[in-house]
A and B are shown apart, each in its own frame.
Chain A
Amino acid sequence: MRHMPPVLESEDFWVEHLTDVPDNLRLLKAFRSHGNASGLEMYLKELAIRDEKAHESRTYLVKDAMTGELAAYFSLRSCLIPISVTKTLFDTIPAIEISNFAVNEDYRAKQRAVSKIGAYAFVKFIRPLAIQASTIIGAKWLCLYALPEMKLIDYYSGLGFTRLDKDRELFVYSHVKPKYDQDCIFMYQNICSE
């Protein structure tokens, strides 16, 4: 059952802000992420609320409009991407970071015939929400730090993300990549072209 107007919705899903609905805390407990992405499950269950209270990121739940099941979640936060201008000068590009994005494996298991819910959530909800935010605060890129797995890099490439050239990538890492994203790959896409 819906308690608040959704942040976004399609015919078959709606998106809620994590803390808008008290019952969401119960739903989180049943979330299960893919085997090698346990950090994403741990984040939702143990850290997402803390980040909400600290205003460090916003977490959104994607729910099945028919059943109310938790299908996926994603977290967004603002960030600045440093880019070298000369040897002594750098500028920054305002961006929005997808700090977490995962599909509920229990929900995915139900729909074995098609497993493209990640692309759906990205196209229908994540990118539009980032574009909406960019019209209010100004942001040029949507970015993420991908785990260093070729399969994952290819997956994000399929969602329209690209990598910087090696020097620029290293420049980003040397200035803003936090410890918890160690070894992760910076990827970005333009959100001001629509």
Chain B
Amino acid sequence: MRILTKEYLEELKRSEAYQMIVNTPPPDLSKARRDAEIFARWIAREHKKERLAMASRGA
């Protein structure tokens, strides 16, 4: 079981490690989201074309 003693917690809180654990910043996802959006728009257009082609073939 994970039982943390008061002494350990105090030592942990004084450490740089603790600051890192509690203050991990949120990731910068701006590029990933931008790229994902470009792909989403592109694939939506491609699927639309495929659906129209299928409809015109009477599928």
Q: Which residues of A does B touch, CB under 8 Å?
A: 10-13, 65-67, 83-86, 89-91, 93, 111, 113-114, 116-117, 119-120, 122-124, 127, 140-141, 158-162, 168, 189-190, 193-194
Contacts and interface: CB of A to CB of B under 8 A. Distances in A.
A120 B17 contact: no
13 contacts: A10-B40, A12-B47, A66-B51, A83-B17, A83-B21, A111-B42, A113-B42, A114-B38, A120-B43, A124-B36, A141-B24, A161-B27, A189-B27
A162 B27 contact: yes
Contacts of B46: 111
Contacts of B38: 114, 116
Contacts of A66: 47, 50-51
A159 B24 CA distance: 16
B56 interface: no
A190 B21 contact: no
A91 B21 contact: yes
B27 to A, nearest CB: 3
Interface of B: 8, 11-12, 15, 17-18, 20-21, 24-29, 31-33, 35-36, 38-40, 42-44, 46-47, 50-51
B20 to A, nearest CB: 7
Contact of B17 (A11, A84, A117, A140): A84
Contacts of B35: 116, 119-120, 158
A89 B21 CA distance: 15
A12 B27 contact: no
Contact of A122 (B26, B36, B40, B42): B36
